[in-house]
Structure 1
Amino acid sequence: MSEYLVEQFRQQVQTGRWSEADALYRQLKQSGSPLPPDLVNDYAIGLARHGRLQEAEFVLRQLLQEYPEYVAAYSNLGLVLRRLGRTEEALETLLRALDLDRCAAEALNNLGLLLRDLGRHQEALAYLERALQVRPNQVAIHANLAQLYRSLSRHQDAIRHFRSALTARPEQLDICLGLSLSLLALGEEREAEAWARQAIHLAPHQADAWNTLGTILSSCGRYDEALACFQQALVYQPQHVLAHLNRGMIYLIRGDWQAGWEDYEYRLQMQPQRWHSYRQPRWQGQSLVGRTILLVAEQGIGDTLQFVRYARLLANQGTRVLLECPRNLVPLLSHTEGLAGCYASGDPLPDYDFYTPLLSVPRYLDTRPETVPGQVPYIHVDATLIAHWGERLAKYDGLRVGIAWQGSPTYANDRQRSVPLSMFERLARVEGVRLISLQKGPGEEQLQHCPFPVVDLGPGRDETSGAFMDTAAIVHHLDLVVCTDSAIAHLAGALGRPVWLLLGQVCDWRWGMAGETTPWYPTMRLFRQQLRQDWDSVFRRVAGELEKLCASRCPHPQKLCVQEIRVPTSPGELLDKITILRIKRQRIRDADKLRHVETELAELEKIAADCLPISPELDRLVHELQAVNLALWEIEDALRECERRQKFDEEFVELARSVYRHNDRRAEIKKRINLLLGSRLVEEKSYRPY
């Protein structure tokens, strides 16, 4: 009788009739009838495949009680525990399987997948490669290796394993799609498209296939066809996250920002657990007057530098604005206008009323191309570093041009935006140009064998002061930045410095599809490829424009120079000048004027820091002095407006009278500062009384 029940149980497991299999399993266990371990193992695998993970765990643990050295059961139990999220137990279980049999292919494969999930990629590769040595023709191992290599941007290795898997299973959808994306990453667009269309042929109603084809077509600049693919994907799966996100980026690059921002919100569903960790509600456009909002940096450094501009806009609307960002960016972003505080991710936060992912702000402020808050600068440079790098760069004459050529190599579209350093040789040949490297990280090694002169400021840049802190101070002293699409471009733009951005014909959505200007950065000029991968013509245009710039900047070979003048002055006069320069830094928008203001301010603030003591009373007087100078600025603007309108009424007279009253108050505060600090120099005023 027991043999008959075992055979019935086997048939139910093999045919997937799980209700009958469950009943027979319970009956056989209650009767104490022996069950073949392989059959029980298959039963547990079936339970797991149907999402019955706790039951599968129970069955496998029962099996291991009877057969404590059964390797396959340990391997499958490890897989079940991994799916249950119990990673430490899964790791111990799989290592136990390999203790029993170091060549257990399933255990090696499952351990590789677990280590991949834990981010231990090199170990994962090692175990998967060992599994493949044991089972060189197993499709699943080839597929797992291929997907892991693809995630690491090792696309040549990924393609090799994808092709091996497809030899055995040419109809497997995820392998076709993975192969197409790796081919795309290497620029093999025609074959990538062919495999994506093969996937659609295999599964015409599968949203992933349509989304992948759309991704390939979009990367080729075939936006109409790509948009149709994303629309088709959403027909079959209306909440497909990537299809919404990809469609949104096409809307954005075409200038339909309202629709684009809506779809772009789907990016947040790719990391839902991250956004559940904030204790206050997410902002969705409510009034923020008198409230505090936490902006949360997301995505790349360039994105953060671009969109942190909204702190000033929100602050001007009566909002207290905080920012949470990666720790290495805190020193730089603490100098952002409008921020009341900047905090490293994971550190304790002060109270706030709402939080928002940073790139969601433009959606709720209804940002369109014509309403971009484009005033620059909105990030300021540390005064001490400006002075330090000013001294270091003083020896480099000519038109100082900062260059950067390489973005993150793991970025999906990096092949269409980065160039080799050698492309800049044409710029180095322009008479009067001095190239200065701003490259950091990948691509920096190309300087070692560069055949033309490029100033290398050394590896210590940004190491101690914080990410981009030194670079920002260097950019402050440059005449121009010329770079490909990377964080350097956003940094220069945010600082209000002149920057020429080199773009592939197919570029990121934020730069649009045509034109030499961008609403995001008024000091930026765009140089676009006219033909894909044709960088030569781009650099020819840039070299020609550099020649014109050098000619306009140096029209006469002989220039009069004056040595720096150092004049003794009182503390009150020094601080008066500093407060005026701080107001100018906030009010002036012209990039060249602003550069002069920031250079002078940095020098004077360094002198003040070196020479003046720290005192609460002095801080109070400086605050009063700045308020008076700000009032004088406003009065001057109002007087000029009356002059423009030829309106010389009582308001004009009152404004004119207020000038000398405020100047008297200004002189009084400066004298109090001088007396407080015991200055040898004390400025005096003497006018007729009124």
Structure 2
Amino acid sequence: MLTVGEIKHKLKQANALHLEHQEASAIELLKEVLPYQSDNAHIYAAIGECYVNIREAVEGLPWLKKALALDNSLKACHIRIADAYNLMHKRVKALEYLKQCAGTFKGDPLECQWWLAKADVYKMMRFYERSEACYQEAFKRIDDKDKAWKAQLCGSYAGMLELQGRHDDATRYFELAYVTHPTYVLGSNLAMHYLTVGNWEWGWRLYEIRLQGNKVRGLGNKPCAGLEDRIEGPLYFYQEGGLGDLVQMARYIPLFKDVSPELVMVVDPRLMEVARMMKLGNVKIIDGDHTGEHEAELPMLSLPLRSDRLRPEDAPPPVKMKVKPIKRTFPNVLINWFGEKFFTHDDMRSMKLADFAPLVRQHPEINWFCVNIGERVGKEIASTKLPIMHYPGDLKTAIQRIAGCDAMVTTDTGLAHVAGTLGKPVLMVLGEYSDWRWELKGDHTAWYPSIKLYRCNGGAKMEDILTQIDEDLSKTLKDVKYEADNRRKKSNAKVRVRASGQESIPNA
């Protein structure tokens, strides 16, 4: 049983944690109090807002709606519900909720938040002129004394500027947001922006602030280790992000072989098959649900900093993978046009199969295939009537098919990292949004020498990009065939030598 004083104390603690973006901890405290104040709409609203702030909109929405059912005067709930629907890609629904409380904020500090929520929705709908207008209305109404909301407004606006390619202006507003209210969320956003614009040292150093939010699954309170350290117990490396981040960052782990006698990579259970394919020497692979005692730990996106190899050019080469390829008749090209739809800006990096139709039709001699999963694949192949074989299956099989292909035409997805790691020729189309690892300029990346980049930003036309890919793909396949023919000739020559019973004599 909690006393009245304890309840008040926990509510005060939860509010302080919420202001510092420690949302998970705030939710725990609020749920402890809830049984004692089950009719308190403000507690339901606070829990829902915390969930939305950590991007768990589906979880947060019922709490917000319950709060509104208990007290329909909570105008802030309409705004948070709109934020939740925006995260769930239901933008029309989000605008409907904002419309319900439009014009009711005269002189209310919530008016700034209402304009900010509307600006965010239009930003995600890519209606930048409308979004800009809403941001300016929000800036007019912001109270400079409210540091947290001023910082959130500046950070959100910076995000829109970045999406538009206005990177200098974005830098200014990202920095203003962080200086105004230096939380780990705003610091992480600024760090990602620094990486995007090529400020690698500041980016990797500042990105350590994310650890204040304990957002790395399984990470405890053990000390981190650097290359200069020497410890006796196990050193754990914790995976962060998805498939692409795992494949990209694993290359750093062997650098730590002298730090600890036992290196252990802790991986999402869904990616265990991928991790086991990696040739990492004596590194042990375990899933995140079965960790043990260890002396030190490192989140994997900290490895460029902890190994003091901050620039892509200084990174180790991609880790080698042991894969049994599934081969098809030459020329065998994998086409991959979309990735994870819940990625924040997926609509700006994924494309439609129809966008690649001219390229596919230009090369009927190619055996095109794809390994994407979901109903979308079959529907798009059917609607375009393109000669593309579809091989849905698990991730291990998809990687085996990548290992057996001659080239890959793709957008920015995790499978492109796998192909690059395997040394496959990859022709990658970058949409309007370019992830931090691909930088802002150039057609090659130091992360994967076999990947060539084709950028759609800066007014580039898709038809011109496809023309360039067409030329490069033809040349790539000629090179692949030439190398394969050479390997076949050498292999046949060895067979003939062994069959004749003669040994080759080295040059004197």
TM-score under structure 2 normalisation?
0.79
Counterpart CA distance in 2 for 1:142 and 1:235 is 29
Matches within 5 A, 1:264-275: 264-271=207-214
Identity %: 21
**Shift of the alpha carbon at 1:106?**
7.7
Cross-structure match for 1:277: 220
Counterpart CA distance in 1 for 2:218 and 2:476 is 48
Cross-structure match for 2:195: 252
Matches within 5 A, 1:545-556: 545-550=472-477
Change (3 A) 1:442 1:225: farther
| 1:288 and 1:319 in contact (8 A); partners too | no
1:309 to 245, 251, 254: 251
Cross-structure match for 1:522: 449
Give the residue type in structure 2 aligned to 1:200: F
**Shift of the alpha carbon at 1:160?**
2.4
Give the residue type in structure 2 aligned to 1:148: A
Number of residues of Structure 1 aligned to a counterpart in Structure 2: 470
Give the residue type in structure 2 aligned to 1:437: C
Counterpart CA distance in 2 for 1:274 and 1:550 is 42
**Deviation digits for residues 170-213 of structure 1 (CA, Å, limit 9, x no counterpart):** 65233322222222111112222332233222226322221111
**What SS is found at the alignment partner of 2:359?**
helix
Confirm or deny that 1:150 pairs with 2:86.
Answer: yes
Cross-structure match for 1:422: 354
Cross-structure match for 1:180: 119
Cross-structure match for 1:471: 398
Cross-structure match for 2:373: 440
Change (3 A) 1:452 1:134: same
Cross-structure match for 2:311: 369
Confirm or deny that 1:263 pairs with 2:202.
Answer: no
Cross-structure match for 1:164: 100
Matches within 5 A, 1:530-609: 530-532=457-459, 534-550=461-477
Change (3 A) 1:165 1:544: farther
Counterpart CA distance in 1 for 2:163 and 2:313 is 28
Counterpart CA distance in 1 for 2:43 and 2:371 is 47
Change (3 A) 1:543 1:165: farther
By relative contact order (CA 8 Å, sep 6+), the higher-ranking structure is: 2
| 1:211 and 1:242 in contact (8 A); partners too | no
Cross-structure match for 1:452: 386
Task: Please tell me whether Structure 1 or Structure 2 has the larger radius of gyration of its CA atoms.
Answer: 1
Confirm or deny that 1:482 pairs with 2:409.
Answer: yes
Confirm or deny that 1:299 pairs with 2:232.
Answer: no
Give the residue type in structure 2 aligned to 1:470: T
Change (3 A) 1:179 1:241: farther
**Which has the higher mean CA deviation after the structures are superposed, 211-220 or 199-208?**
199-208
Cross-structure match for 1:100: none
Change (3 A) 1:526 1:212: same
Change (3 A) 1:448 1:93: farther
Cross-structure match for 2:21: none
2:133 to 184, 194, 214: 194
Cross-structure match for 1:586: none
**Unaligned 5+ residue runs, structure 2?**
16-25, 145-149, 499-505
Counterpart CA distance in 2 for 1:130 and 1:353 is 45
Give the residue type in structure 2 aligned to 1:296: Y
Counterpart CA distance in 2 for 1:276 and 1:550 is 44
Give the residue type in structure 1 aligned to 2:86: R
1:209 to 153, 172, 175: 153
**Unaligned 5+ residue runs, structure 1?**
1-42, 55-81, 98-103, 463-467, 574-639, 644-655, 657-690
| 1:376 and 1:522 in contact (8 A); partners too | no
Matches within 5 A, 1:41-440: 51=12, 85=29, 87=31, 90=34, 94=38, 125=61, 139-169=75-105, 171-172=109-110, 173-203=112-142, 205=144, 206-237=150-181, 239-271=182-214, 277-278=220-221, 280-284=222-226, 286-288=228-230, 292-315=234-257, 320-338=262-280, 339-349=282-292, 351-369=293-311, 371-381=313-323, 383=324, 386=325, 389-390=326-327, 393=328, 397-431=329-363, 432-440=365-373
Change (3 A) 1:160 1:266: farther
Counterpart CA distance in 1 for 2:475 and 2:14 is 70
**Deviation digits for residues 336-388 of structure 1 (CA, Å, limit 9, x no counterpart):** 22252111112032x5331011000101222233643342452321x4xx3xx
**What SS is found at the alignment partner of 1:334?**
helix
Change (3 A) 1:442 1:163: farther
Counterpart CA distance in 2 for 1:227 and 1:329 is 35
Counterpart CA distance in 1 for 2:57 and 2:193 is 33
**What SS is found at the alignment partner of 2:191?**
helix
| 1:233 and 1:243 in contact (8 A); partners too | yes
Change (3 A) 1:319 1:418: farther
**What SS is found at the alignment partner of 2:367?**
strand
Change (3 A) 1:533 1:545: closer
**What SS is found at the alignment partner of 1:502?**
strand
**What SS is found at the alignment partner of 2:308?**
coil
Cross-structure match for 1:624: none
Counterpart CA distance in 2 for 1:312 and 1:540 is 41
**What SS is found at the alignment partner of 2:264?**
strand
| 2:425 and 2:451 in contact (8 A); partners too | yes
**What SS is found at the alignment partner of 1:196?**
helix
Counterpart CA distance in 1 for 2:69 and 2:94 is 17
**What SS is found at the alignment partner of 2:298?**
strand
Counterpart CA distance in 2 for 1:256 and 1:524 is 22
Counterpart CA distance in 2 for 1:473 and 1:490 is 14
Give the residue type in structure 2 aligned to 1:90: L
Give the residue type in structure 2 aligned to 1:378: K
| 2:443 and 2:454 in contact (8 A); partners too | yes
**Deviation digits for residues 138-158 of structure 1 (CA, Å, limit 9, x no counterpart):** 523312321221232322222
**What SS is found at the alignment partner of 2:165?**
coil
| 1:253 and 1:508 in contact (8 A); partners too | yes
**Shift of the alpha carbon at 1:50?**
8.0
Change (3 A) 1:127 1:533: farther
| 2:55 and 2:87 in contact (8 A); partners too | no
| 1:116 and 1:124 in contact (8 A); partners too | yes
1:493 to 420, 440, 450: 420
Counterpart CA distance in 2 for 1:547 and 1:207 is 50
Change (3 A) 1:313 1:285: closer
**Shift of the alpha carbon at 1:526?**
0.9
Give the residue type in structure 1 aligned to 2:391: L
**What SS is found at the alignment partner of 2:277?**
coil
Matches within 5 A, 1:627-638: none
